[in-house]
Structure 1
Amino acid sequence: MSDNVIETLQFNCTTCPSECLLTVEVERNANGAVVEVRSVTGNNCPRGDKFAHQELTCPMRVLTTTVAVSGGDEALLPVRTSEAIPLTLHAQAMDLIRGLVVKAPIRMGDVVLENLLNTNIDLVASMDIDRAQVAN
C-alpha cells in the first residue's frame, strides 16, 4: 500500500502575458516530494503544461544580483544569468558570486563568469560601467 498523497494545486503560468490559471493534480510521496504530475488544466497553450511540470519537478529562475566593481564610475554592477538555472542552485551561486570583483570598464552583455556552477550558463553584465575619472 502506498503512502502517496494526491494533491490539487493552482498557480499562474508565467511563460506569457496571458498568465493562465493552471489547476495541477500531483502525487506526492511521504516526504512531500512530487512523484508525478498527473494532470494540468487551465492552460491555453502547450507552454502551460510544460511550465507546470518544470515548476513542480525542477523550478528554474534567472538569477539577478550585483557584483563589486574595481576602478569604475559605479561601485556595483548589476548582473544576471544568461538563462534560467535551477532554483536549488541559487544559494550556491550567490556564495560564489558574492566574492567576485570585476574591473572597469565593462559593457552590458559582457560575460562576468563563464559556465556558472557547470550549468553551461554564463553570468553577464546588465549595464555599462566606465572607468572612474581621475580628479586633477
Structure 2
Amino acid sequence: MSANEIETLQFNCTTCPSECLLTVEVKRGADGAVAEVYSVTGNSCPRGDTFAHQELTCPMRVLTTTVAVSGGDEALLPVRTAEAIPLALHAQAMDLIRGLVIDAPIRMGDVVLENLLNTNIDLIASMDIDTPK
C-alpha cells in the first residue's frame, strides 16, 4: 500500500462496556505509521472517536506488574500506574521497576515510585502488605 492511499481499519473501542466496533479510515506516512485519521464510524458516543485517534497515534495503557517486598508478609506487591502511560514506554518502565524493592508495611494506593519516567504519573500499590506478626 502506498503512503497516499486511504486504509480502512476495524477494532473495538474499550472505553466502556459497549465495546463498539469502530471503522477507521487512515492515511499512513512514508514510515508506515498513521499520519492522519480521516474518519471514525461505528462509535455510539464521542469517546469512540477520541479512543480511535489516541490508539492510532499514541496508544496508552495502564501498566500492572509486581515489585519485590522486603520485611513483609508477602514477597511481591502488586502495583499499577495511577493512569495510562504510552505503550511505547512499558518496556523501559519494566526495566526500572524490576530493580525496585519496597519496605513493608505498605498500604493500597501508596505511591511506590513518583513520576514514572517523567510522565507525571505515579506507580501505586494495589494491595496492603504488613510486616509479619
TM-score of the superposition, structure 1-length normalised?
0.94
**1:37 counterpart letter in structure 2:** V
2:127 matches 1:127? yes
Question: Within 1, Cα distance between the matches of 2:105 and 2:80?
Answer: 18
Look up the match of 2:90. 90
Question: Within 1, Cα distance between the matches of 2:71 and 2:105?
Answer: 8
**1:58 counterpart letter in structure 2:** C
2:77 matches 1:77? yes
- 1:107 offset after TM fit, Å? 0.3
Unaligned 5+ segments in structure 2 are none
Question: Within 1, Cα distance between the matches of 2:81 and 2:58?
Answer: 17
- 1:7 offset after TM fit, Å? 0.8
Unaligned 5+ segments in structure 1 are none
For the pair shown, the structure with the greater C-alpha radius of gyration is 1
- 1:118 offset after TM fit, Å? 0.4
Percent identity at matched positions? 87
Question: Within 1, Cα distance between the matches of 2:113 and 2:74?
Answer: 19
- 1:132 offset after TM fit, Å? 2.0
Most deviating of 22-31 and 120-129:
22-31
Contact kept, 8 Å, 1:108 with 1:126, in 2: the verdict is yes
Question: Within 2, Cα distance between the matches of 1:120 and 1:74?
Answer: 28
TM-score of the superposition, structure 2-length normalised?
0.97
Question: Within 2, Cα distance between the matches of 1:29 and 1:3?
Answer: 5
Look up the match of 2:14. 14
